[in-house]
Amino acid sequence: MNLMVDVFIVVAAVAIVIQAGILVALYAAFKKTSMRVETLAMRVESVTNDVQTRVLPTVDNLQSFIVANRPKVEAIVENLSVTTTKVRGQVERLDATLDDIVDRTRLQVIRADELVSRTMDRVEETTEAVQRTVVSPVRVASGFLQGVSVGLGSFFRRRRQPTNGSQHDEMFI
């Protein structure tokens, strides 16, 4: 039994030494982590101080600017709304006016086209009427007068002409 007690004491001593080593290693790791956390906390504190010294005054200034200029911004928004409404009304009136102008122009173009078509038809009818009533009778009369002229000329020439054959000379000329 003494032997067992001695073995048990040796095993317990080894176990206690191992546990002490583990505790020392845990303490060293905890201390290292604690230093890192402290460094990180210092950095966060530094950033927080920078935020408080730089950003917060800017935010305060911005808030006071917004509060001070809120009535002006509201007036600008209201003016823009009124102006937009007026411009929309003017654009609608302009659109209606342009539509009316286009419709009237289209109607005038149709009327002008009809007027030109009627005028061209009347000119053609007048040309045909002049052809029938003036030109054709004038041609007929001209032909008739030419025939009479040639007939009379022929009649009077034969009386005057000698019978010696000078008829060929006149045909030559």
pLDDT in tens, 6-37: 999 999 999 999 999 999 999 999 999 999 99
Please tell me the pTM assigned to this model: 0.39
Domain count, the chain: 1
Compute the distance between CA of residue 96 and CA of residue 104 in angstroms, rounded to an integer.
12
35 assigned to some structural domain: yes
Predicted pLDDT of residue 20 = 94
Compute the distance between CA of residue 17 and CA of residue 34 in angstroms, rounded to an integer.
25
Q: What number of other Cβ atoms are within 10 A of residue 83's Cβ?
A: 10
CB 148 within 8 A of CB 142: no
157 assigned to some structural domain: no
162: alpha, beta or left? (left if phi > 0; alpha if psi -120 to 50):
beta
pLDDT in tens, 65-106: 888 888 988 999 999 999 999 999 999 999 999 999 999 999
156 assigned to some structural domain: no
168 assigned to some structural domain: no
Between CA 106 and CA 118, with CA 112 as vertex, the angle to 5 degrees is: 140
Domain that holds residue 97: 2-130
Predicted pLDDT of residue 168 = 54
137 assigned to some structural domain: no
